[in-house]
Amino acid sequence: MIVVDRLQHRFGILDVLDDVSFEVGRGRFCALVGPSGCGKSTVLRILAGLVTPTGGRADIDGRSVVGRVGQAAYMAQRDLLLPWRRALANATVGAEARGLDRRSARAEALALFERFGLAGFEQSWPHQMSGGMRQRLALLRTFVAGLDVLLLDEPFGALDAITRRDLQCWLDEFLAEHDRTVVLVTHDVDEALLLADEVLVLSPRPGTVTARVTSPYPHPRPSALVTDADFVSRKATILAALAQAGPPAG
Ligand SMILES: Nc1ncnc2c1ncn2[C@@H]1O[C@H](COP(=O)(O)OP(=O)(O)OP(=O)(O)O)[C@@H](O)[C@H]1O
Ligand SMILES: [Mg+2]
């Protein structure tokens, strides 16, 4: 489904990605972890068709993503809500852009507001919502877009631990029932291993894949998995690869 092959990227003289390769099969979940500034968001922005890589290949469904915005639902690291649209109208923006039926997109979004802890805020403006609420709304919008590939850039970053765990469980259960292909960027190794089928560790900039750790447990997964001996040993492998990576490139 997703093929990234010897991907390279420079912003001017800044070497950001060096030879990144990975594949994500249909319905599979891949997590990217790595030090700040190593190019994780850049990988997602390339897959979203927003950045043209300076080398290598990135394909979704056998076609290059270059210049093709809208092949995947992308949740940016910053929430990017539209300040002039109320919450519900923000939630359906991706669906509308794709020409999906507005009524059914609204109905689908409304049903998710409660699950995301946003019930009662359907008609609020983004500036009336907290940072965590805005982030949940941006995540909700990604699901309502009706696309098979989800690109999630630290979707739980601004949430407290309990809400974060709750939404991780929701995502795991949702994906067990819906066939979506996901690339998730996170700094949380537990989150990566709990949600993903494979975790890739990137080196400091210029980013390259230094470790690949599979997470072979059936979905949906119980929270208690984090104390399982096999889980802990996979986590140790990832942490060791991150430690080897050294301090963040900034
Ligand atoms: N549009 C841009 N123009 C120039 N440099 C950029 C641009 N976008 C990102 N960079 C630089 O590329 C490098 C990688 O950025 P990126 O956002 O991909 O890192 P990241 O791994 O997502 O970091 P973080 O974990 O802090 O979110 C950084 O040094 C950043 O300053
Ligand atoms: Mg980032």
Q: Per-residue pLDDT for 245 more than 70?
A: no
Q: What is the pTM of this model?
A: 0.94
What DSSP string runs through 65-133?
-TT-TTSSEEE-SS----TTS-HHHHHTHHHHHTT--HHHHHHHHHHHHHHTT-TT-TT--GGGS-HHH
Task: Give the number of other Cβ atoms within 10 Å of residue 225's Cβ.
Answer: 15
Q: Please tell me if the CB atom of residue 188 comes closer than 6 angstroms to any atom of ligand 1.
A: no
Over residues 126-185, the pLDDT tens digits come to 999 988 889 899 999 998 888 999 999 999 987 888 888 988 998 998 898 888 999 999
Q: How far is CA 67 from CA 2, 53, 71, 178, 243, in A?
A: 16, 10, 10, 28, 36
CA 176-182-188 angle, 5° bins = 95
Q: Per-residue pLDDT for 13 more than 90?
A: yes
Residue 162 within any structural domain of the chain: yes
- Which residue's alpha carbon is at the smallest distance from atom 22 of ligand 1? 41
Q: Please give the pLDDT value at position 247.
A: 59
Domain total in the chain: 1
Q: Please give the pLDDT value at position 177.
A: 86
Over residues 211-223, the pLDDT tens digits come to 999 999 999 999 9
Q: Please tell me if the CB atom of residue 11 comes closer than 6 angstroms to any atom of ligand 1.
A: yes
- Which residue's alpha carbon is at the smallest distance from atom 2 of ligand 1? 11
Residue 124 within any structural domain of the chain: no
Cα 23 to middle of ligand 1, angstroms: 22
Residue 79 within any structural domain of the chain: no
Identify the domain containing residue 9 by its residue range.
2-72+147-245
Over residues 18-70, the pLDDT tens digits come to 999 999 999 999 999 999 999 999 999 999 999 999 999 999 999 999 988 88
Q: Please give the pLDDT value at position 248.
A: 54
Residue 133 within any structural domain of the chain: no
Residue 77 within any structural domain of the chain: no
Q: Please give the pLDDT value at position 163.
A: 85
Residue 213 within any structural domain of the chain: yes
Q: Please give the pLDDT value at position 126.
A: 95
Q: Per-residue pLDDT for 231 more than 60?
A: yes
* Residue 57 near residue 64, CB atoms below 8 Å: yes
- Which residue's alpha carbon is at the smallest distance from atom 6 of ligand 1? 11
What's 194's domain CATH number? Answer: 3.40.50.300
- Closest atom of ligand 1 relative to the 42 alpha carbon: 18
Residue 84 within any structural domain of the chain: no
Residue 49 within any structural domain of the chain: yes
